[in-house]
Chains A and B, each alone.
Chain A
Amino acid sequence: MFEMTPKMGEFADVEPLSISTGLPDELCEIMYTDEYRELLGIARSLMARGELSERALRLTGRVIDLAPAFYTIWNYRFDILVSLSKDLSNDEKVLRLNEELDWIDEFTLNNPKNYQIWSYKQCILQNHPSPVLKRELPILKFMLDEDTKNYHVWSFRKWCILFFNDFSNELEFADSMVERDVYNNSAWTHRMFILKNLKPTAVEIKTEVEYIMRKINYVPQNISPWTYLRGIYENFLASKYDNNIVEFAKKFTSNVTDLDFEDPNVKLPDIESSYSLEFLAHIYSLQKTTIINAKRAYMGLSSKYDPIRKFYWDSQISRLH
């Protein structure tokens, strides 16, 4: 399909600025594609004269499509938009910024790894007279379905939850992500963030511990729920580890902490989860009466279950008294 170049169309009156840098190594300039050179030249010209117009807005869209990470153009686009909407009535402004949000969403779907988009979107939402969380949730869900650990999407989701001060969808959402991939550390971290903000009751925390135990039963050798479990005890249960949780963790360790390590004939058994052993070691290290068990756990980790961190485990042993 034939596409008009900008110069032939609405920018016929604009003299594109050279996009060269004025530095000595300019022979390379020939390698810009003609379209990129022309679009950027016109953009530079419009920026130089501070033109904040509809056609300039359209132009920034085309430059962004070609060079999405060029943040100077994003800045320019934002200036244009602010200027174009400053004298609008409230309703008109809502329409205008909704249109922009639609444009952003479409761009996002085509450029999932671009992260400039999220801070740009934050600015639009902050300038929007009546932003709506419901509008944001589907695209956020879609983006995380596509790339379940995308750091910037998760961060933006947190920003949204705080901006709208609405935590009501989040435990369910985090659960759906854990359900899909129990190893997803981003989802577990999100769950902790939500829980801390919800200020749960003792009953709710008990339910939460049971939830984690189900996930560990499903896959015992998974660091995320074990770290999360410890986080729950430290943040909501004053690090008071009860017998239940000790027995639960022991299930995955073949009772290795009861073995006599002094006996030269002792053979370390296979265990289901090194993380459960580490969790136990931590609990055991908190009380004098169980220090010996902690030591055994660390020795097992050092020699057999996680030898790559031998120096770490050995340092833990040397600190036990």
Chain B
Amino acid sequence: MASKERGTLLKEKHVRYIESLDKKQDTLEFWLTEHLRINGVYWGLNALCMLRSKDVFNREDLIKFVLGCYVESTGGFAAFPRHDAHLASTLSGIQLLKMYDAIDSLSKSQIDKCVNFIKSNQMKDGSFQGDRFGEVDTRFVYTAISSLSILERLTPEVVDPAVDFILRCYNFDGGFGLCPGAESHAAQVFTCLGTLAVVNRLQDLTKAQVDEIGWWLCERQVPEGGLNGRPSKLPDVCYSWWVLSSLSLIDRLEWIDFEKLRGFILDCQDEKRGGISDRPDNEVDVFHTVFGIAGLSLMGFEDLVPIDPTYCMTYDITNTIKKYPYN
């Protein structure tokens, strides 16, 4: 069957699925995933934004939840009230406030403390640790730099070493890894290119590097249409975001076969309950739902609200961010 006939995006069902997540608090699993809660809320709201259904979540309740995750003692956001602050949850918290145009619900001193929290996790080599615990990962460079950018508080002292670190993570095969020398991985490619895009430094890559990166990224598409994260691995819907956003940042999006990828993403929908899974016939979750929809949005399908590949939020939101360098 031609992929064009493989159906469409079940928008209404996905909206209902995301709405239902908020009401699943009667399961133990819900509680055992507290450590990802604020990220999950961001994924859900981001999907709703692309589906033009932002109002499904209650703005006031959500802002209250996010402010409840702010850790006064350190200035970062935790994944859940009374957990420790972490850079990953800090970005989600700031993104959620930005999406509701509610950054100013933080006081000036709270924002200052947050900026300090983020900066205090930068290491000598320009990388960032996720929290004081020391896990270093290009992912945290992105979360730190993107957070500072949304708060419009980037400075050369933070940016320049971070860029140096990112460039050191470039690999012989055209990808980027979690740290220098680590295996190339599509999610890490996004965090590296995303960081460079946020600080307007993509031009630090040579033309040859950009071509190699584009090759490595389009090489992720398997004959069935889906994208994998590393060579010789299975395809997974979440790479629709990591790979396509990266290709979009270096202006090579057209190197992917859109129709085939679209077919793969649509095949991963739960046609009864809504939601999207990693591969056809698997259990759906909010993570794969948002990144499947984001992939479709980047390809311009399904009349979705366009998403900004740099910030992973819709353009109507990111257009209001003052871009670095600030003059």
**A85 interface residue, CB < 8 Å from B?**
no
Residue from the list A24, A31, A119, A231 in contact with B173, Cβ < 8 A: A231
Assess whether B178 is in contact with A151, with CB atoms less than 8 Å apart.
yes
Q: Is A23's CB under 8 angstroms from B68's CB?
A: yes
Within 8 A of B (CB), among A226-265: 227-228, 231, 234-235
A308 and B257 CA atoms in complex are apart in Å by 6
Q: Tell me which of A186-194, A198-206, A209-217 binds B.
A: A186-194
Partner of B172, one of A31, A185, A192, A309: A192
B31→A223 contact, CB < 8 A: no
The reply to whether A227 and B26 form a contact with Cβ atoms under 8 Å apart is no
**What is the total number of residues of chain B having a CB less than 8 Å from a CB of chain A?**
56
Cβ contacts under 8 Å, B219 to chain A: 223, 309
* Interface flags, B177-211, vs A, CB<8A=1, else 0: 11101111100000000000000000000000000
Given A185-B232, A312-B215 in contact, is the A120-B133 Cβ separation under 8 Å? yes
Bound CA span A315–B182, Å: 29
A33 to chain B, nearest CB (A): 6
Cα separation A72 to B76 with both chains bound (whole Å): 13
Distance of A116 Cα from B79 Cα, bound (Å): 15
- The one of B35, B82, B183, B256 in contact with A44, judged by C-beta atoms closer than 8 angstroms, is B82
Main secondary structure of the interface of B (DSSP, over half): loop
Contacts of A190 in B (CB 8 A): 183
> Which of B31, B86, B133 touches A32 (beta carbons < 8 Å)?
B31
- Distance to closest chain B CB from A192 (angstroms): 6
Report the Cα distance A75→B86, complex, angstroms. 11
Least Cβ–Cβ distance between B206 and chain A, in angstroms: 13
Query: Which A residues are CB-close (under 8 A) to B233?
Result: 149, 185
Closest-CB distance, B57 to chain A (whole angstroms):
13
CA distance A186 to B173 in the complex (A): 12
A3 within 8 A of B: no
> Residue A227 contacts which of B31, B82, B173 (CB distance < 8 angstroms)?
B173
Looking at A24, A67, A69, A151, the one whose CB has the most chain B CB atoms below 10 A away is: A151
Instruction: Report the Cα distance A74→B132, complex, angstroms.
Output: 12
Interface contact A186-B25, CB-CB below 8 Å = no
Q: Which of B172, B177, B221, B257 contacts A231 (CB 8 A)?
A: B172
- Range of interface residues on chain A? 35 or more
* A87 CB within 8 Å of chain B: no
Cβ of B83 within 8 Å of any chain A Cβ, yes or no, is yes
Question: Which residues of chain A from 1 to 57 have any CB-CB distance to chain B below 8 Å in the complex?
Answer: 21-25, 27-28, 31-33, 36, 44
Give bound CA distance, A223 to B214, whole Å: 16
Which parts of A172-186 form the interface with B (CB within 8 Å)? 183-186
Check A75/B260 contact, CB under 8 A, given A155-B178, A223-B231, A234-B172.
no
Shortest beta-carbon distance from B121 to chain A in Å: 13
C-alpha gap A75/B184 in the complex (Å): 29
Using known A-B contacts A183-B232, A189-B171, determine if residue A312 contacts B178 with beta carbons closer than 8 Å: no
Pick the contact of B35: A23, A69, A185 (CB < 8 A): A69
Interface presence of A158 (CB below 8 A): yes
Task: Tell me the bound Cα distance from A222 to B232 in angstroms.
Answer: 8
Given A22-B81, A31-B25, A231-B173, are A186 and B183 also a contact pair (CB < 8 Å)? yes
Q: Contacts A22-B81, A119-B133 given: A310-B257 contact, CB under 8 Å?
A: yes
Can you pick out 19 interface pairs between chain A and chain B where the beta carbons lie within 8 Å of each other? Answer: A21-B80, A24-B61, A31-B25, A31-B27, A67-B35, A71-B35, A71-B83, A71-B84, A71-B131, A74-B133, A75-B133, A151-B183, A189-B177, A193-B181, A193-B182, A222-B232, A224-B232, A308-B221, A312-B255
Known contacts A67-B32, A193-B182; can you find 6 more A-B pairs with CB under 8 A? Answer: A28-B25, A66-B32, A69-B36, A154-B182, A155-B178, A183-B231
Interface residues of B (CB under 8 A from A): 25-28, 30-36, 61, 64-65, 68, 78, 80-84, 86, 130-135, 171-173, 177-179, 181-185, 214-215, 218-219, 221-223, 225, 230-233, 254-257, 260
The 7 closest A-B pairs by CB, nearest first: A28-B25, A119-B135, A231-B172, A189-B183, A193-B181, A312-B255, A183-B232
